[in-house]
Chains A and B, each alone.
Chain A
Amino acid sequence: MRMSASAALHKGSSVLDLLYTPFSEFEFIQRALVGVIAIALGGGPIGVFLMLRRMSLTGDAMAHAILPGAAIGYLLAGLSLPAMTIGGLAAGVVVAMAAGLVSRFTSLKEDASLAAFYLLSLALGVTIVSLRGSNVDLLHVLFGTVLALDDNTLLLLASISTLTVLALAVLYRPLVLECVDPIFLRSVSRAGTPTHLIFLGLVVMNLVGGFHALGTLLAVGMMMLPATAARFWTSDITMMMIVSILIGIVSGIAGLLLSFHAELPAGPAIILSAGVVYVASLLIGREGGVLWLAWPGRHLEA
């Protein structure tokens, strides 16, 4: 269906049509667009905080950690939204809390304990899915189905991003303070540990949301790529979050168009688009981009 639709569109149409018509004509593309906007809204700011807290790889590890939970949900109920969501949330929360507590109360650092947890989770998750499903199901779990989002999934994604934005607004100060000067935070308030745990909870929620659209392996891409790209454009945290959301949305639109016209799988196309923005930002970004470092211009007077 997709091939004939895009072939029909390609006959005698302007550039504007190519950019606009997929979104105006095809409901599954509209749904995918709504889905990626919701994911960008929540995932961008979460990614910024993951990056600033030097937890970029933690996000990746946690994305793998939700897999066995989602897989058990799948084993019990097939490709069911509630079962896989609850399973993924439960597994993600357990691993995040376990890794967080291990790093706080033992000498093992969080990255080390997460690395152990996520390798186990990935192996376990793939094994569980294979117990029952076909390779198609395995692909669904690993790479998502952004072009087949139903109403309930969209509602879930929208709820997650709403909750995320509200929670970040409330937790903003302790989150920032815990990054810059955790000792000061501990000396003025006991909010440090609960803030950290709630933040990890938000990370898991957004990963589970992203998981439905992009799969476990790519969900973290909509968090980290827009956030790291945004770091090259501004040094203000609020602006960084806004820029990361915009980059996420633009990558989503570009990825969907790429997928539609070039017959590429949509999830990877979206992440690749975000990757292109990241590399471009890395090269030309005003805040420490490679080109500005190589040719900084004449120095100032003072």
Chain B
Amino acid sequence: MPKPSTAIGFDEVTLGYGRRPAVHHLDGDIPAGSLMAVVGPNGAGKSTLLKGIIGTLKPLEGHIRLNGPSSEIAYLPQAAEIDRSFPLSVYDLVAMGLWSRSGLFGGIAAKDRTKVEEALAAVGLIGFERRPISTLSGGQMQRALFARLLLQDAPVILLDEPFTAIDAKTTADLLDLVRRWHDESRTVVAVLHDLDMVRRVFPETLLIAREPVAWGETLDVLSAENLLKARRMVEAHDPHAHVCQRGAA
């Protein structure tokens, strides 16, 4: 049996802002087709890790390997990072998902319009096309952003806290899309806080607390012992840290 190919690989990666690391010495591979959760306390470096993968943050040390160009990754940022007051219709927001394929200057053909309609239907937003995004509820906005992810049609999908402040029905609908992506052999990596959901839906988990605590099968990773350890590691943040010697020799 051939070894499954790697979607994202980490070689002793340290990510951070200035000299202070937010993710410390991460090493390992995410196989293509994985459905993986990234969990950890606030400030553990989960979002930083995703920013490292899409390349908006360069590693301080180490190397991130991608199986293809970074445009092959669809990324859902945290809701707070989008300017909701901007005068833009739901249709235009969703259609942006095409741009990663058509380029920023390519035209939108008739078949692309069908695709936009299909994506809107898949997230239950038919009839919302002309609504300005400023009038959407949090859940509707998240549905629209998932429709945009659908259109990006990327082999790797990164989700940063996709279900925070989202109601149960919307979460269930969007989780169905996540399962569908998994069935289509896409690689899905999601930053999550709801550990019950992680145990239910995500076979693999990376638990981080500024450095990897455990990585592997979800039920093993999310043991009481590991979770306690993660919490202690984040609280142990030292304002007078010394220069890290690991990997320097």
| Chain B 95-108 per-residue mask, 1 if CB under 8 angstroms from chain A, else 0 | 01001100111000
B202 CB, nearest partner CB in chain A, Å: 22
Q: Which B residues are CB-close (under 8 A) to A240?
A: 87
Measured CA separation A168–B73 after assembly (Å): 28
A181:B54 contact, CB within 8 angstroms: no
In this assembly, does B136 line the interface, its C-beta being within 8 Å of a C-beta of chain A? no
As a 0/1 sequence over residues 94 to 125 of chain A, the CB contacts with chain B under 8 angstroms (1 = contact) are 00000000000000000000000000000000
21 example contacts (A-B, Cβ-Cβ < 8 A) are as follows: A173-B104, A176-B88, A179-B83, A180-B82, A180-B86, A180-B93, A180-B133, A183-B75, A183-B77, A183-B81, A184-B96, A184-B148, A187-B55, A187-B74, A187-B75, A188-B152, A191-B104, A236-B87, A236-B89, A237-B87, A237-B88
Complex-state Cα separation, A283 to B74, whole angstroms: 43
B185 adjacent to chain A (CB < 8 Å): no
A200 to B71, CA, bound (A): 26
Residues of A within 8 A of B93 (CB): 180
Interchain residue pairs A-B with the least CB separation, the first 8: A188-B100, A235-B87, A187-B75, A180-B86, A183-B77, A173-B104, A187-B54, A181-B82
For A240, the closest partner residue in chain B by CB is: B87
What residues of B have a CB within 8 angstroms of the CB of A187 in the complex?
A: 54-56, 70-71, 73-75, 100
Cβ-defined contact, B70 with A173, below 8 A: no
Chain A residues near B88 (CB-CB < 8 A): 176, 180, 237
In the complex, chain B residues whose CB is within 8 Å of the CB of A236 = 87, 89
Chain B residues proximal to chain A, CB less than 8 Å: 54-56, 70-71, 73-75, 77, 81-83, 86-89, 93, 96, 99-100, 103-105, 132-133, 148, 152
- With A173-B105, A186-B56 already in contact, 19 other A-B pairs whose C-beta atoms are closer than 8 Å: A52-B87, A176-B88, A177-B104, A180-B82, A180-B86, A180-B133, A181-B81, A181-B82, A183-B75, A183-B77, A184-B82, A184-B148, A187-B54, A187-B55, A187-B71, A187-B73, A187-B75, A189-B100, A237-B87
Q: Judge whether A235 and B54 touch: CB under 8 Å.
A: no
Q: What 1/0 mask marks residues of chain A from 158 to 180 whose CB sits below 8 Å from any chain B CB? A: 00000000000010011011011
Contact of A183 with B56 in the complex, beta carbons under 8 Å: yes
Chain A residues whose C-beta falls within 8 Å of the C-beta of B148 in the assembled complex: 184
Q: Which residues of A contact B99 (CB under 8 A)?
A: 173, 177, 188-189
Measured CA separation A193–B6 after assembly (Å) = 31
Q: Contacts A177-B96, A183-B77 known; A189 to B104 CB distance under 8 Å? A: yes
Size class of the contact patch on chain A: 20 to 34
Point out the residues of chain A lying under 8 angstroms from B82, CB to CB.
180-181, 184
The CA-CA distance from A188 to B103 in the complex, in Å, is 9
Shortest B209–chain A CB gap in Å is: 24
State how many angstroms separate the Cβ of A292 from the closest Cβ of chain B. Answer: 16
Query: Closest CB-CB distance, B144 to chain A, in whole Å?
Result: 11
Interface string of A228-267 (1 = CB under 8 A from B): 0000000111001000000000000000000000000000
B96 adjacent to A235 (CB under 8 Å) = no
The answer to whether A170 and B77 have CB atoms under 8 Å apart is: no
CA separation between A52 and B96, bound complex, in Å?
18
Chain A's closest residue to B74 (CB) is A187
A181 touches B105 (CB 8 A): no
CA distance A289 to B147 in the complex (A): 33
Complex interface: chain A residues within 8 A of B87 (CB): 52, 235-237, 240
> Contacts A174-B104, A184-B96, A187-B70 known; A179 to B77 CB distance under 8 Å?
no
Q: Which of A170, A184, A186 has the most CB of B within 10 A?
A: A184
Closest CB of chain A to B54's CB: distance in Å?
5
Kindly list chain B residues whose C-beta atoms are within 8 Å of the C-beta of A188.
Answer: 71, 99-100, 152
Residues of B within 8 A of A183 (CB): 56, 75, 77, 81
Is the CB–CB distance between A189 and B71 below 8 Å? yes
Nearest opposing residue in chain A for B81, CB measure: A183
Measured CB to CB, the nearest residue on chain A to B73 is A187
- The complex places the Cα of A162 from the Cα of B70 at a distance, in Å, of 36
Q: What residues of chain A lie closer than 8 Å to B96, measured between beta carbons? A: 173, 177, 181, 184
A184/B86 contact (C-beta < 8 A), A191-B104, A235-B132 known:
no
Closest to A180 in B: B86
Q: Whole-angstrom distance from the CB of B227 to the nearest CB of chain A?
A: 29
